């Protein structure tokens, strides 16, 4: 078996996608927690290539006889190391492939005092992360149809669509919340998600990405702004599409309260794993880019 850096090619992106799909299917079976195939096929290909370009030394794949056995993709942003993806093909699990991949990826984070990742419910993954020094924060998921009757107030804080011109605001909010901007990841998110919402007033600032029914990332300087942004994002979920807000630790009760008020159901799922930092708040992390 060899470990090599991921290349920014369609073939490598497809290989990572195939092994990720097989690993998650094997773990989740056909449960509804299994990531959506469409999301895996379009966004993940683009995100894999984005990381291969931006973080070549943090993205590794394992190969045996030319077949991809696993992948660990990680990124580094202003002193925070982030694990974006960690998967091993079902037939190769339990043989130490994951450990070798994670060693390479974590070496890229050497010198970063802080680390973040969103973990699946896999006990094997939790074992790896705890051993790597991460604190595991149990996470909640909100999902379901948005009760639009609960959305009738117009909102006192103005929210408007954002674009790449808001980069300074996004970076400022990120640095205040987690000590690091998302840097090039904003360009990726602006290109691949349906919309970016911005709130910027005397009361504070914040932003939120939404794609379809999913709230992909939200950060704000106060709970009041965060609540307003989350309500607006959920109001914009297309009719008939279920809403999904994931990776909520107990610190994000403001978000849990918004979801419950709008009729979403609350479940536990996986972990937000952090090293050298407390959960940012108010914040809804992005599963792969944190």
Q: Which residues bind ligand COA (CB under 6 A)?
A: 23-24, 27, 86-88, 93-99, 119-120, 122-125, 127
Give dist(CA 46, CA 153) in Å, integer: 37
Minimal distance in Å, beta carbon 133 to ligand COA? 15
Nearest residue (beta carbon) to ligand COA: 98
Minimal distance in Å, beta carbon 132 to ligand COA? 12
What secondary structure does DSSP assign to 9-36, as a single string?
Answer: SHHHHHHHHHHHHHHHHHHHTT-TTSPP
Minimal distance in Å, beta carbon 99 to ligand COA? 4
Minimal distance in Å, beta carbon 130 to ligand COA? 10
Our measurement of the distance from residue 77's CA atom to the centroid of its chain's CA atoms, rounded to an integer in Å, reads 14
- Closer to ligand COA by Cβ: residue 48 or 205: 48
Minimal distance in Å, beta carbon 96 to ligand COA? 5
- Closer to ligand COA by Cβ: residue 206 or 288: 288
* Residue of 229, 286, 287, 279 lying closest to 258 (CA atoms): 229
- Closer to ligand COA by Cβ: residue 86 or 188: 86
3-state helix vs strand vs coil in the chain, percent to 5: 40, 30, 30
* Residue of 269, 265, 215 lying closest to 244 (CA atoms): 215
- Closer to ligand COA by Cβ: residue 44 or 120: 120
CB crowding 98-137: b at 16 or more within 10 Å, else e = bebbbebbbebbeebebbbbbbbebeebbebbeebebbeb
- Closer to ligand COA by Cβ: residue 68 or 227: 68
């Amino acid at each position: 078996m060899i470990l090599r850096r991921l290349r920014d090619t369609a073939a490598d992106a497809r290989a990572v996608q195939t092994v990720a799909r097989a690993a998650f299917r094997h773990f989740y079976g056909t449960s509804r927690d299994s990531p959506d195939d469409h999301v895996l096929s379009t966004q993940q290909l683009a995100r894999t290539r984005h990381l291969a370009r931006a973080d070549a030394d943090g993205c590794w794949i394992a190969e045996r006889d030319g077949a991809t056995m696993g992948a660990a993709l990680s990124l580094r942003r202003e002193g925070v190391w982030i694990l974006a993806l960690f998967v091993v093909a079902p037939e190769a699990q339990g043989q130490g492939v994951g450990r070798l991949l994670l060693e390479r990826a974590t070496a890229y984070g050497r010198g970063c005092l802080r680390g973040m990742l969103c973990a699946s419910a896999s006990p094997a993954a939790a074992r790896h992360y705890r051993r790597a020094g991460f604190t595991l924060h149990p996470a909640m998921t909100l999902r379901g149809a948005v009760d639009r009757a609960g959305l009738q107030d117009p909102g006192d804080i103005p929210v408007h669509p954002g674009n790449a011109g808001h980069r300074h605001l996004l970076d400022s909010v990120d640095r205040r919340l987690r000590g690091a901007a998302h840097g090039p990841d904003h360009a990726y998110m602006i290109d691949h998600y349906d919309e970016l919402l911005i709130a910027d007033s005397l009361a504070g600032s914040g932003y939120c990405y939404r794609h379809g029914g999913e709230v992909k990332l939200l950060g704000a300087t106060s709970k009041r702004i965060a609540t307003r942004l989350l309500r607006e994002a959920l109001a914009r979920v297309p009719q008939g599409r279920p809403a999904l807000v994931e990776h909520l630790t107990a610190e994000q009760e403001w978000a849990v309260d918004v979801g419950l008020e709008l009729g979403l159901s609350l479940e536990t799922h996986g972990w937000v794993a952090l090293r050298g930092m407390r959960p940012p708040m108010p914040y809804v992390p992005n599963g792969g880019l944190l």
